[in-house]
Amino acid sequence: MYILIFILGIMIGSFLNKHIYKILRKESIQFSELYCIHCSNPLKLYNLTSIFSYIFHKRKCRYFGKQISLLYLMVEFINGLTYLVLFHYFGLSLKFIYFSLIISILIVISIIDYFHQIIPNYLLFIMIITIVLYKIIDFIIYGTPAISLDGIIGFFAAGLSFTIIALISNGGMGGGDIKLIAILGFILGLKKIILNIILSFIIGAIISLFLLLSRKKERKDTIPFGPFINISFIISLLWGESIIKLYINKFM
């Protein structure tokens, strides 16, 4: 079952790659047959993903012969790996489907933000629709309250804190980051979103320092914050309770 989940993850990752490619090239998004992003030939099942093409066609596009970008391999692998971890934690459940969709959207947001320093509103809207549908289905099946006080507090606390940071830093935090962290605050609740924010700054500082020391970025360059928020979200979602308990036991 784990192998099937991983394959599902990388196949959906291939779908994400197509739309990442379209967005980066500022082309219109169309939900149609999947095709090679290098030569536009329709993809068959056995070369549907960059990973499969990388393995079976000597790291190149089957038709065009162009070297497959490491970015597309990374997106598919991370999406597949994330699905595996989520399946391990939640099993084949409604929560698994929900968080898989959320994190797939966050992967696209991270790539777009890294290259264009923007978080598209329509991706945030898709996240909101996903949350609403999940809450409705969860209420119908399990009777879980659609809106929790913890989620509402997390939403406003996260959004307000990033708004204050944006004002103090004179635009150092973008509007997309504010909207993103508010939505994630609703998902995680107050305790976990606080952890999410703390981790995002720690991870951001470490990665930014690495990029500066390796000269991949310069001091004058803008380093997008969205990817750090999203990495921290996954950590907070899966291991947040354990991290918080460990902190309380050690320091309080």
Residue 216 lies in a domain: yes
What average pLDDT does range 132-157 have in this prediction?
93
> Same domain for 23 and 144?
no
Choose the final residue of a domain: 71, 92, 113: 92
Owning domain of residue 69 = 1-92
Q: According to the model, what pLDDT value does residue 212 have?
A: 86
Query: Regarding predicted confidence, which is higher, 249 or 131?
Result: 131
Q: Which two tokens stand for residue 139?
A: 């209420």
Q: According to the model, what pLDDT value does residue 196 have?
A: 98
Q: According to the model, what pLDDT value does residue 227 have?
A: 96
> Same domain for 131 and 245?
yes
What average pLDDT does range 167-177 have in this prediction?
86
> Same domain for 25 and 122?
no
Residue 120 lies in a domain: yes
Residue 207 lies in a domain: yes
pLDDT, tens digit, 9 for 90 and up, residues 228-241: 999 999 999 999 99
> Same domain for 226 and 161?
yes
CB 19 within 8 A of CB 77: no
> Same domain for 68 and 150?
no
* Residue type at 92 in one-letter notation: L
**Window from 157-171, 184-198, 206-220 with minimum mean pLDDT:** 206-220
- Annotate 188-207 with DSSP letters as a single string: H-HHHHHHHHHHHHHHHHHH
Distance CA 157, CA 179 (A): 12
Q: According to the model, what pLDDT value does residue 215 have?
A: 79
Q: How many domains are contained in the chain?
A: 2
52 C-beta neighbours (distance < 10 Å), count: 20
Query: Which residues are bridge partners to 67 per DSSP?
Result: 60
Residue 188 lies in a domain: yes
pLDDT, tens digit, 9 for 90 and up, residues 16-28: 988 887 777 766 6
Q: According to the model, what pLDDT value does residue 59 have?
A: 56
> Same domain for 174 and 197?
yes
Residue 189 lies in a domain: yes
Q: According to the model, what pLDDT value does residue 143 have?
A: 87
Q: According to the model, what pLDDT value does residue 21 have?
A: 76
* Residue type at 132 in one-letter notation: V
The residues, ordered by sequence, that sit 6+ positions from 131 with a Cβ below 8 Å of its Cβ are 102, 183, 186, 187
Choose the final residue of a domain: 53, 68, 92: 92
> Same domain for 112 and 197?
yes
Q: According to the model, what pLDDT value does residue 185 have?
A: 98
> Same domain for 24 and 130?
no
Residue 97 lies in a domain: no
Distance CA 51, CA 179 (A): 33
> Same domain for 84 and 106?
no
pLDDT, tens digit, 9 for 90 and up, residues 62-120: 555 555 567 888 999 999 999 999 999 999 999 999 999 999 999 999 999 998 899 99
Choose the final residue of a domain: 92, 118, 150: 92
- Measured in whole angstroms, the distance separating CA 129 from the mean position of its chain's CA atoms is 16
> Same domain for 80 and 107?
no
